[in-house]
Structures are given as structure tokens and as C-alpha cells.
Structure 1
Amino acid sequence: MANVFGVQIFFIVFRECLEAVIVVSVLLSFLKQTLGQPGQDQKIYKRLERQVWVGAASGVLLCLVIGGAFIGVFYGLGKDIWSESEDLWEGIFYLIATIIITIMGLALLRINKTKEKWRGKIAKALAERNKKQQTSTSSRIGDWSRRYVMFILPFITLLREGVEAVVFVGGVSLGLPATAFPLPVVCGIIAGLTVGYAIYRGGNVMSIQIFLIVSTCILYLIAAGMFSKAVWSLQYHVFAVKVGSDVAEEGNGPGSYDIRETVYHVNCCNPETDDGWDVFNAILGWQNTGTYGSVIAYNMYWIGILATIGCMLYRERTGALPLRQRALAFMLKVPVLRNYAKRKQEMSREEVDEVMRQIQDDTRNDAGLFKTEVSSEN
């Protein structure tokens, strides 16, 4: 199963695809509220709506090209690099994958807040675009960006999300064969589009949230197993170097593991040699030999996840973590950290609504000017 369907790849693609759908839905909702009402020019509305879809499709297409090139180069050049120290590389790759999956899981838990987050981001982007227009209204670039802003925004946004997905998928699948990519990518895209469409159409938010929570739990089961496997692989590499032979050829019996570091060992259920157990190894991190390091790592991972989710719940209820505002205020005074602190400062709902109202007025004016320009050209 692990050679055909990479479960972690599915969840990464699902999450990124879902966020991309939410971005497009926010833009389409913005256009409908601004120009799609009865009595308004439907021709302009349809043209701008088409820009959103073309921009989104172009961004996704470019991401697929980048992703295909990335996978081709990686599997074309990278196979011989770690063939002599497979356990060492697997330990490093599993550690990287654990970090990436953990971050993605936390983001998946907050996906119900993503629509509001992207609404604020898009409001900021449109406001900055308008400011630039006011300073360079006579330039051709400013005029072009004004006319095709609904193409530029989804194109750049989905391109960034797609490149992020390529990097994340590459990170979590460094130890998997190329055959484990196509099926989970297709299934992840379909699942992301389906759930995103349900959110856009105003489906049962509670059932969607339950689905996302269950998905995150599965994702963390995989990540916990990967973290345990990372420690296990690194310890196994150290043992193999000390023994000075191919330990894997010893099978399941004595000599195949370091008894000084072992908590438990069973002479069966080896994911490397016994059929079927590789599925549990891929999903849950099962090994027929448990070391002190791998067992402690598994438990410490869950303690860390519980602490992180506790902090998220505290922030959800109180509005901010302790000392967060003071830390951001301090970073704003440091030139190197100023831009980072500005990105982390969130707009309030009232500020977002006010910016969106201003942008809607500007968009209506731009649409009227755009209509006049088109009429004069014809």
C-alpha cells in the first residue's frame, strides 16, 4: 500500500487544494456582491469572473509543471545519494516529514477560519493595489494591473499555494517511491474540491468540521509514527555502523537489533519481510523492535501536540497568547523583523469590512471606467 498510496501526500494535497478553493470562493463572492447584483452590468461581471477562473487555472497548471519537474529531477538524480546510508537518510527524511505534517495538521484544524483569513489578505492586497494605482495611474503597468487584477490575484495566490504544496509533498515523501505519488494527489485534489465546494455552497459546517478533525487525527497518527521511525532509523544506523555488516540480512532473531537499547522485540511482524505489516509501518510507524528512543519519541510527540492545541484553544478563547502583542511591538522596532511583525498583525473584522466596502466602491468605479474604455475601443 505504501508503494501505491502515500497517505501523508493525500492529506497535504487535500489541505492545499481546499485552501485554494477557499481563495477562489472569496474572490467570486466579492465579485458577486460588488457587480453581480440585479440591475448591474452582467457583461463586466462575467468578464471579471472569467479572469478569476483563468488566473486560478493558470496558477494550478504552472504548479503541476513545477511539481512534475521537481519529482523528475529528484528521482532521476537523488537515488544513488543515500543508497549506502539508507537508514540515516530515512531518519532525516522522516524527521523533516514529521515537522511538515505537524504544521499542516494545525492548519487543517483551523481551516474553518481560513475563509475569514483570506478575506483579510485579499482586502489588504486590493487596498495596496489601489494605493499603487493612485501613485502611478498614468503608467501602462498600473493600467494593466487595474484591468486584470482579478486574474493576477488568484494566479499569484494559487501559484504560491501550489509551490508550497510541492515543497511540502516533497518533504513528506522523500522516502517513498515515485509510484506512491499519482493516486493520492488525484484523490487529494478531488476531496479538496468536494469539501471546498460544500463550504462555498453553505453546506453543513459542523459535519465538515468533524471531517476535518478526523482527518487531522489520522494525519497526527501518521506524524507520530514518522517521528518514532525517525529516531528508530537513526539508532539503527548507529548500530549497523558499529556491527559493520548488513544487519537486515540477520532477519528477526538475535543480532538483528541492539539489545542494550531495546524495550521490546518480537520475532515476527517485521514490516521489511512480513507481508501486510508494511501497511501498519506506513500509517502508524509500527516496528517489530521498539527502542527506548523510539518509544519515548512517540509519547513526547503526543505531549507536544496536546500542549500546542491547548495554546491554540487559549488563543481562540482569549484573542491572543500571553505577551504576543508585546513581542510584536518589540519586533516592529527592529528593522530586520519589522516586515515579519507587520505580516503577523491581523486586521480586525471591522477593519476588513471597511476595507472591503472601500474596495467594492473602487471596483464599481473601475468597472464603469473599464466599460467606457471597451465601448470606445469598439
Structure 2
Amino acid sequence: FFICFRECLETSIIVSVLLAFLKQSVGGEGDRETYKRLLKQVWIGVGLGLAICLCIGAGMIGAFYSLGKDVFSKTEDIWEGSFSLIAAIIISIMGAALLRVNKLQEKWRVKLMQALDKKDAIATSGIMSRFKLWSEKHVMFILPFITVLREGLEAVVYIGGVSLGLPASSFPLAVICGLAAGCVVGYIIYRGGNTTSLQIFLIISTGFLYLVAAGLFSKAVWAFEIHAWNNIIGGDAAEVGSGPGSYDIHKSVWHVNCCNAELNGGGGWGIFNAILGWQNSATIGSVVSYNVYWLVVIICFCSMTYMERYGNLGVFTPLTTCFGLRKKTVPEKPSSIDNELMPSNADDKTAMPVVSSI
């Protein structure tokens, strides 16, 4: 139950925030067509990610029960870390853009409509330009798809590992109840987002998304480090519990023999792990990466504020454009020569000739 609940909860949070954002920003009567197309992207991303998870999950569970052992545990941390890293980057970029929607709401509506109509540009551009244009056009598809795929595969691996040695009929009820509970929480968040003002909703949801992204970034580094530790000890460190041997003491910042999010579904600690990236055994890499992530986010937001006011950051300008902010343009004033070359009023006796001015 807790495994399915925590994996479904993180997916529900991200999807519900996207749905509430679309409802409030482009859900007006004048934008019904754009709203429907973006809403369709979100649900296609969720549905496709879920379908792929079901197909891969069926194969994994079949392998679990036919071979009698967990053959996927050796690479579990690699793909978990990779998907977590990708999701953290996508959420970070989208979070900064979402926070500016209320200020540039009409501009965003136009940009979303233009992004949906770039068929000709995609067909005539280079490979990188095509990928960039495609990403802009399907931005509401990519994040739900990656999130559902990552959380779904993670849930399949965990459930398969926990249920190994048990009859297949022992866990369907717990899986269904966990998924239902996660969906209910997501629906509550969605309804709450629709009833609050757009600005308050954007601030709260963006802050929450960045907490999730920071946890994902830290979890990605932790997963890569635990994979290296598993290779050293020649097995899965999670199988030895929370005591000695379950972590690399040379890279440990802290370790507690309880509150393990990986054992028996993790309980409440598993939920903290899914949302905030909690680990009972923190490594140097996971702690440093968590702090570095927030430092980079703070610098980027300070830079964006500076750019809005003064318009230029020199060599750091390209970094802020990744967050959807463009250089502030100041209308150029006509030069003195341009003013002199402009036709003057023939009745003006004080007009000076151009030659004498030059």
C-alpha cells in the first residue's frame, strides 16, 4: 500500500498542479481550443506513460515469478537515478516559467498558441531546432510522461521485489488502495488550485515543485552512489537492513538505524522520500547536491530579477534564458543626425540647415 501510495502521490501532485495551472491560465472562454489541446497533451502523457509501465511491469513481474529472483535489482539504481535527474531538470525549468505566468498571462497564452502551431517550422529546421520546437510544442506532454514512467517503473520494481516468494493474489488489493489514495490526494490539490487565486496558487505550487525537484536531484546522486556501493559489496545493500554494511561509511554524513524508506514500503518515511528525497543514510554527494541545487536556483532567480530591472547579465545571460526569460529590450532613441535628417517644417524660420550643423 505505502509503495503504491508514495509513487502515485508524487505523480498526482505534478499532474494536478499542471491541470490546475491550465484551468486558471488558459481555461477562459476565449482560449477553449488551446486549453483542450494542452489538456489533451497532459492526459496523453499520463496514459502513454502508464501504458508503457503496464507493459514493462508485466514483463518484470513475469520474470520475477518465472526465474524466482529479482534480476532487475542490479540496474535499478541506475535508471532510478537517471529518471530522477531528468525529472528534476524539467521541473526546475518549468517551475520558473510557471511563477511568471500571472505577470505575463496574456503573453503566455499567445506563446502557447504559437507553440502549438509550429508545424512548418519543425519541418524545415535542423535536428536540434526541431527537437527544441517539438519540446516547446509538447511541453505539457513531456513532464507527465516522464513522471508517470519513472514512478510507475519504480513501483513495479519495488512491488515485485517485496512480493517475491508470496502468491500473486496477495497484493492486488493493497496496490489498488494505494493508487486510489494517491489519486484522491491529487484531486484535492487540483480542486484547491481551482478555488484559490492564481498568484497564491502559483507561489505555493511552484515552491512545492521545487522541494520535489530538490529531493529528486539529491535522490539521483544518492542512487548513483548506492549503485557503486552495491557493486563493491557484490549485492543489494537494502537487503541487509539499516545496520552495518548497508552504507559506505567513508562517504556517510549521517546514518540512523531506523526511518528507512526502502524497507517494507517505507511507511511514512517512504512518503517523505518520494516528495522531499529523505534518506536515513545521507551521503556526501546527496547532501552537497541538495544544497548546490538550492544555491543554483537562488542565483538563477536573483539573476532573473536583475535582468528584469536592468536588462543584461553579460556572460550569464544565456543561463537565465533557459528559464524562459529574455533580455530586456530598451527602445533606441533616434540619434542627433537622424533628427537633423528628418524633414523639418517649412514654416519654421529657426530651422538650421543640415550642412551648417554638420
Shift of the 64–181 alpha-carbon distance from structure 1 to 2, 3 Å rule, reads farther
Shift of the 312–263 alpha-carbon distance from structure 1 to 2, 3 Å rule, reads same
Instruction: Quote the offset at 1:301 in angstroms.
Output: 1.0
Paired residue for 2:15, among 2, 13, 21? 13
SS of the residue aligned with 1:290?
A: strand
Shift of the 222–54 alpha-carbon distance from structure 1 to 2, 3 Å rule, reads closer
- 1:3 is aligned to 4
CA contact (8 A) 1:17 1:188 kept: no
Q: Note if 1:316 corresponds to 2:308.
A: yes
SS of the residue aligned with 1:9?
A: helix
Paired residue for 1:169, among 147, 151, 155? 147
Partners of 1:102 and 1:62 lie apart in 2 by 20
SS of the residue aligned with 1:85?
A: helix
Shift of the 94–181 alpha-carbon distance from structure 1 to 2, 3 Å rule, reads farther
- 2:298 is aligned to 306
Paired residue for 1:233, among 223, 234, 238? 223
> What amino acid is aligned across from residue 72 of structure 1 in structure 2?
A
Shift of the 318–19 alpha-carbon distance from structure 1 to 2, 3 Å rule, reads farther
Paired residue for 2:244, among 231, 248, 254? 254
CA contact (8 A) 1:224 1:284 kept: yes
Shift of the 83–75 alpha-carbon distance from structure 1 to 2, 3 Å rule, reads farther
- Of all paired residues, the percent bearing the same amino acid is 37
CA contact (8 A) 2:242 2:260 kept: yes
- How do residues 68-83 of structure 1 correspond to structure 2 at under 5 angstroms? 68-77=47-56, 80=60, 82-83=72-73
Instruction: Quote the offset at 1:170 in angstroms.
Output: 3.8
> What amino acid is aligned across from residue 4 of structure 2 in structure 1?
N
Instruction: Quote the offset at 1:14 in angstroms.
Output: 3.7
Partners of 2:48 and 2:21 lie apart in 1 by 23
Instruction: Quote the offset at 1:165 in angstroms.
Output: 4.4
Instruction: Quote the offset at 1:229 in angstroms.
Output: 1.5
Q: Could you tell me which runs of 5 or more consecutive residues in structure 1 were left unpaired when the two chains were aligned.
A: 30-51, 129-157, 328-339, 351-378
Paired residue for 2:281, among 289, 303, 314? 289
Query: Normalising by structure 1, what TM-score?
Result: 0.59
CA contact (8 A) 1:13 1:185 kept: no
- How do residues 27-46 of structure 1 correspond to structure 2 at under 5 angstroms? 28-29=29-30
> What are the superposed Cα offsets for residues 213-257 of structure 1, whole Å, 9 maximum, x if unpaired?
222222222222221111111111111111112322211211111
Query: Normalising by structure 2, what TM-score?
Result: 0.62
CA contact (8 A) 1:271 1:278 kept: yes
Partners of 1:11 and 1:289 lie apart in 2 by 26
Partners of 1:226 and 1:84 lie apart in 2 by 20
Shift of the 67–122 alpha-carbon distance from structure 1 to 2, 3 Å rule, reads closer
Partners of 1:300 and 1:347 lie apart in 2 by 28
Instruction: Quote the offset at 1:300 in angstroms.
Output: 0.8
Partners of 1:67 and 1:265 lie apart in 2 by 36
Q: CA RMSD in A?
A: 4.3
Partners of 2:244 and 2:116 lie apart in 1 by 66
Q: Note if 1:23 corresponds to 2:23.
A: no
- How do residues 24-173 of structure 1 correspond to structure 2 at under 5 angstroms? 24-25=27-28, 28-29=29-30, 53=32, 56-57=35-36, 60-61=39-40, 64-65=43-44, 67-77=46-56, 80=60, 82-121=72-111, 160=138, 162-170=140-148, 173=151
Please identify, of 181-190 and 79-88, the stretch whose mean Cα deviation from structure 2 is larger: 181-190
CA contact (8 A) 1:8 1:219 kept: no
Shift of the 102–174 alpha-carbon distance from structure 1 to 2, 3 Å rule, reads farther
CA contact (8 A) 2:11 2:151 kept: yes
Partners of 2:259 and 2:302 lie apart in 1 by 36
Partners of 1:269 and 1:171 lie apart in 2 by 26
- 2:269 is aligned to 277
CA contact (8 A) 1:63 1:162 kept: yes
> What amino acid is aligned across from residue 108 of structure 2 in structure 1?
W
CA contact (8 A) 1:248 1:256 kept: yes
CA contact (8 A) 1:2 1:176 kept: no
The size of the alignment, in residue pairs, is 278
Instruction: Quote the offset at 1:319 in angstroms.
Output: 4.2
CA contact (8 A) 1:262 1:289 kept: yes
Partners of 1:120 and 1:304 lie apart in 2 by 30
Q: Could you tell me which runs of 5 or more consecutive residues in structure 2 were left unpaired when the two chains were aligned.
A: 61-70, 119-135, 157-174, 332-358
Partners of 1:88 and 1:217 lie apart in 2 by 28
